[in-house]
Chain A
Amino acid sequence: MSQPDSGPLRELLRSHFESEQLSMEQLQTLRARLAAGSTTPAPPADAAPDPGRRRLFAVAASVAAAGAVGYWGLFGLRAFRDTSNLDALAEEIAYNQLVEKPLDVHSASMDELRSAFASVGFMLQPAPMALPPEAELIGGRHCSIASVPAVALRYRSSNGLVGMCQARFDPARHRGVPALAAGHPPAQRSARGLSVSLCHDNGVLMAVVLA
């Protein structure tokens, strides 16, 4: 079937993909793989449990339980804190600040920026921690933090890069970020040569980035 030289985007894409087909040989390979997999014998459901196997499971369970108790004793609740996500968030935020994309809004006024970025779905918050005294707000641009729409604010500073990222706080995607309201201090991370401080308050994730 000949393909049209021009037309609606949908029709062009459909005709393009209609020409893409698995060959008969590839299909047969997939079917053979299926046949091989589906004939793997399953253990009978009503088979009598093997006493030796039961003992093995009992020993393994005891070792696992002892290990868990020891791990808990050594590391306490810290074992359950998800620090890997904090590292990933810090990496992404540092990357957002290092990439010199053009600002979407140029302004030194937080009120103006708050109004300009309200459509992102949250209100920009004041910096949760002290910024360098000479840092001068120059504007912001859209970005994302863990796939949540965010705003990257940029400051002009004689002492290197200063920036702040904010996003609507998503407990799942931003897990591990401490809550100021609960009395926790911001988490500190180093990423890509930058120092990143993360916290959330009033439903907004805030991250300050300093060189």
Chain B
Amino acid sequence: VTALSDEDFQRAYRYAIALTGDREEAYDVVHTAVTQWLAAAPRGVEHPLAYFLRIVRNCFLADVRRAAQMRWTPLGEGEGETVIAADLRGLDEVHLERAWLEAAWATLSAAEREVLFLWAVEGYTVDEISTQTGAPRGTLLARLHRLRRKFSADGTLARQGVQP
């Protein structure tokens, strides 16, 4: 873990914000992840940042599972409903007003925020997101398809002058 740079910590913190949707919770998750890495004391970690991001994710999931109100809405629930042939190019074409994005962001699930963060900020491909999150590729494509549909609808409303 000492191989992590300050920028690596910043990236992990942003990832934690995407997962938790809250700055203070995100910091707690990163701090817990550091503690867990120290406790595990792994040897020969080839990609420290990727390993650390995985710990951050696991810490977040552990918190979610502990929260009683989340018992019946696990991260993947309802996400495997359909497998739709789609890819990330559709999202690249989405133009949006910042106000609409901020309004929509607050309504997204942790799984949706995570996939958007990994795609937009970390520049991951669908396969890389699947590796990082453990979610099946088909599930991710269906999730991205729904996000594109949602943001496209938001864009249409914005062009019609509707306020978020």
Contacts and interface: CB of A to CB of B under 8 A. Distances in A.
A44 interface: no
A84 interface: no
Given A8-B92, A9-B94, A9-B151, A34 B38 contact: yes
Interface in A2-51: 3-10, 12-14, 16-17, 20-22, 26-27, 29-30, 33-34, 37-38
5 contacts: A5-B98, A8-B93, A13-B101, A34-B1, A144-B80
Contacts of A10: 91-92, 119-120
B30 to A, nearest CB: 7
Interface string B26-42: 01001100110010000
Contacts of A120: 82-83
Contact of A13 (B97, B121, B139): B121
Interface in B13-47: 13-14, 17-18, 23, 27, 30-31, 34-35, 38
Contacts of A8: 92-96
A95 to B, nearest CB: 6
Interface of B: 1-2, 6, 9-10, 13-14, 17-18, 23, 27, 30-31, 34-35, 38, 72, 76-83, 91-99, 101, 116-117, 119-121, 135-136, 138-139, 151
A210 B34 CA distance: 48
Nearest to B77: A144
B147 to A, nearest CB: 9
Nearest to A192: B72
A6 B121 contact: no
A26 B135 CA distance: 31
A147 B78 CA distance: 8
A121 interface: yes
